[in-house]
Amino acid sequence: MSQTLLLRPSVPEPPAGDLPWYRAFAAFRTNAIAAWPAEAYELEFQSRRLVGRHRLLVNSAAAIRHVLVDNHANYRRTPATFRILRPIIGNGLFLSTGEDWKHQRRTVAPAFAPRTIPVIARHVATAAAEAVTALSADAGGPIDLFAAIQHLALEIAGRSMFSLETRRHGAELRSRLMRYGRGLGRPYVLDLLLPLSIPSPRDLPRALFRPGWMRLIDRLIAERRRLPTEEAPRDLLDLLAAARDPETGATFSATQLRDQVATMLVAGHETTAVTLFWSLYLLAAAPAEQEKVAAEVAGLELGPEAAAETLPKLVQTRAVVSEALRLYPPAFVMVREAIGADTVGGVPITPGTLVMITPWVLHRHRRLWRDPDAFDPSRFLPGAPPIDRFAYLPFGAGPRVCVGAQFALTEATLVLATLVQNFRLTVETTRPVLPVGVITTQPDHSPPFTLTPR
């Protein structure tokens, strides 16, 4: 495709230089992706001191590999990560450390093996077909598609995890998730500065939120366990409840199982919803790319019994999802705190240094990508030039890579294929949708879509 025809979606204008500390902290609370200066997209390393601490932004693929793989034990999650996320996801795989993390990783891994994809694909296809029926009732008129996709992602999460529709608990789940994300999930200055041993002013309301949220997860698990037993696993809860540590034979305790469920429910719902929104928005803004997907999915069987078998045929659709993840990575920043001294790409690291790997910047870096701001799914098609593994990090890398990455890609690809197979999508506004990075990469507003039946 000619470079002049590629869509280049609007993004916040980067500042000309480093923001002063008070504006940098404000940006991390309101829109972190607008905090990175223009030079960050050109340099391999950008170093500065922020309120007395050394901060190093890393855009070198070799250096990223060093931090996330070769010397990963020297880099831990920051206190702010724990204080913001632990109240809503507990001490599951994402936040566990040391031997506890190794046990959880060994135990969880088989539940997310490729052989379990058909279990998830069936739930995704069922929920997607029901969403098509619901959306068809509003076809032809303006639709808040982002809200519809958020509901669908939560429905898929509920079915994939519990084999349960979310009609009974969906409103409460959405309400609690939105309340936390819009308020308590936003980092404040003291969240970023204080050690975990000293509570920040937001820690008390987060602690008050946690019991009610975890009781809701416990109720969902209890309701699911009242269903009749089946021989074959029918959802993630079956897989996790039966999982055993291959070294010790230990299974998850009730608390550990609940924390795994909370982690996967929160992470899976939110990241998939924004990935699907951006994929749909990009296709609506680039009709030629949308028609390529439509041609691919025309006539394919995407129902519950055939979804897993059809999935490998969705090459163009998967490429759109991959490109949306490049342009709008849900996890827009990864921050690690150095435990001991190190050298990263020739840069000396002292204990306490904050090493920042920012997929938002990395995926748009001028030296790593051709025409980095353009929407070009062909980057991810067979035969395209290979992409450096450590220049593309929508799900992280190394031992801490997201264990549910393949499930997330399965869900986003199948839903996108189903929607484009049934509807032609257009955006009914000329106002650009700008990305906002707080917890995930959200749209700054939900534009009206029109869905025209194909």
- For residue 405, the SS3 value is helix
The set of catalytic residues is 271, 395, 402
Report helix angle 287-297 to 315-327, nearest 10: 140
From the list 32, 131, 155, 35, the residue with the least C-alpha distance to 442 is 32
Strands 435-437 and 441-443: antiparallel
Report helix angle 79-89 to 203-225, nearest 10: 40
| Nearby residues of 13 by Cβ (< 8 Å), 6 or more positions away | 34
From the list 115, 155, 162, 364, the residue with the least C-alpha distance to 260 is 162
> Quick one: tokens of 243?
């999982």
User: Sheet harboring 45-50: ordered strands across?
Assistant: 45-50, 53-58, 354-357, 334-338, 75-77
| Contact (CB, 8 A) for 163 and 227 | yes
Q: What is d(CA 412, CA 428) in angstroms, rounded to the nearest whole number?
A: 23
Strands 334-338 and 75-77: antiparallel
Q: What is d(CA 316, CA 300) in angstroms, rounded to the nearest whole number?
A: 13
Q: What is d(CA 428, CA 162) in angstroms, rounded to the nearest whole number?
A: 37
> Quick one: tokens of 395?
């799900």
Long-range contacts of 135-140, Cβ-Cβ distance < 8 Å, separation of 24 or more: 135/419, 135/422, 135/423, 135/451, 136/422, 136/451, 136/453, 138/451, 139/423, 139/451, 139/452, 139/453, 140/450, 140/451, 140/452
| Contact (CB, 8 A) for 187 and 80 | yes
| Contact (CB, 8 A) for 124 and 158 | no
DSSP assignment of 310-358, as one string? HGGG-HHHHHHHHHHHHHS-SS--EEEEESS-EEETTEEE-TT-EEEE-
| Contact (CB, 8 A) for 362 and 393 | yes
CB burial class (10 A; 0-12, 13-18, 19+) of residue 332?
Answer: buried
